[in-house]
Amino acid sequence: MPQTTGNDWLATYRALHARHGPQHWWPGDTPFEVMVGAVLTQNTAWSNVAKAIANLKAARALRCGAMLKLGDAELAELIRPAGYFNVKAKRLKHLCAFLRAEGAMGRPERLRERAPLPELRQRLLAVHGIGEETADSILLYALGLPSFVVDAYTRRIFGRLGLLRGGESYGEVQAAFEAALPRDVALYNEYHALIVQLGKATCRPRPRCGECPLGGVCRAAR
Ligand code: SF4
């Protein structure tokens, strides 16, 4: 990890927030809807996820109990717009089975009471089809727990800024953020959302550095 101070990571947040303002993440009316969105958004754009969630709502299937009663093919058809629908249907069923086993089927937010954050994270990672990014998205955005979400945008932007070398593990990147930032759920929530916004609109594969609020401190831009 390159030599940095906590201020580098916090200053980046402040610059992004000053430019883009609050992002109001994560879209979803209930913790379960957020969890479902975290699974469905794997390898696809949010616009496709929104269509799949609308289908689930229209079929009254956006509840854990209702989803478990659906056949795999029926569920796959409802979430077809999200892509990889057969695989994701199985993943959603595994997530629902996990919630049922934890006694949190009706109120998934009860997961918070089941174990301390590190253990809860391990339990989520043991669910088939839930990797680190999905687990942290569930912990942060569905359950309101301080687990920083790392994604491909994070790696690209912070590599270009010079705060990451490239090649760090997911855990190393997450630890770098969490060591540098106050342990604040609202901050983690907003920071990841701002990173996604920058990665989509500005720090693209061909970066638009002239429009970027980080241009003055970015190693790649220099
Ligand atoms: S200045 Fe350019 S390379 Fe650096 S973060 Fe912004 S868009 Fe990305």
- What's the half-sphere exposure (Cβ side, CA atoms, 13 Å) at 210? 0
Tell me how far the alpha carbon of residue 121 is from its chain's centroid.
Answer: 13
- Clarify whether residues 37 and 107 are in a common domain: yes
Tell me how far the alpha carbon of residue 162 is from its chain's centroid.
Answer: 23
Task: Answer whether residue 189 shows pLDDT above 60.
Answer: yes
Tell whether 59 is covered by a domain.
yes
Domain boundary, last residue among 90, 111, 142:
142
Of 66, 147, 158, 151, the C-alpha closest to 105 is 66
Taking a C-beta distance cutoff of 8 angstroms, is the pair 203, 160 a contact?
Answer: yes
CA of 24 to the centre of ligand 1 (A): 23
Task: Give the pLDDT confidence score for residue 207 in this predicted structure.
Answer: 98
CA of 90 to the centre of ligand 1 (A): 38
Query: What percentage of the chain reaches a pLDDT higher than 70?
Result: 97
Question: Which are the contacts of 117, defined by CB distance < 8 A and separation ≥ 6?
Answer: 139, 145, 146, 147
Task: Give the pLDDT confidence score for residue 50 in this predicted structure.
Answer: 97
Tell whether 55 is covered by a domain.
yes
Q: Give 146-163 pLDDT, tens digit per residue.
A: 999 999 999 999 999 999
Instruction: List, chain by chain if needed, residues with CB within 6 Å of any ligand 1 atom.
Output: 157, 160-161, 202-203, 207-209, 212, 214-215, 218, 220-221
- Clarify whether residues 116 and 86 are in a common domain: yes
Q: Residue 199 to residues 7, 32, 33, 154, 212: CA-CA distances in angstroms?
A: 21, 27, 24, 8, 10
Q: Give 83-128 pLDDT, tens digit per residue.
A: 999 999 999 999 999 999 999 999 999 999 999 999 999 999 999 9
The enclosing domain of 98 has a CATH number of: 1.10.340.30
Q: Ligand 1 pocket test: which of 204, 217, 218, 219 has the largest number of ligand atoms within 8 Å of its C-beta?
A: 218
- Clarify whether residues 91 and 107 are in a common domain: yes
Q: What is the mean pLDDT of the chain?
A: 95
The enclosing domain of 185 has a CATH number of: 1.10.1670.10
pTM of the entire structure?
A: 0.95
Q: Give 120-149 pLDDT, tens digit per residue.
A: 999 999 999 999 999 999 999 999 999 999
- Clarify whether residues 130 and 51 are in a common domain: yes
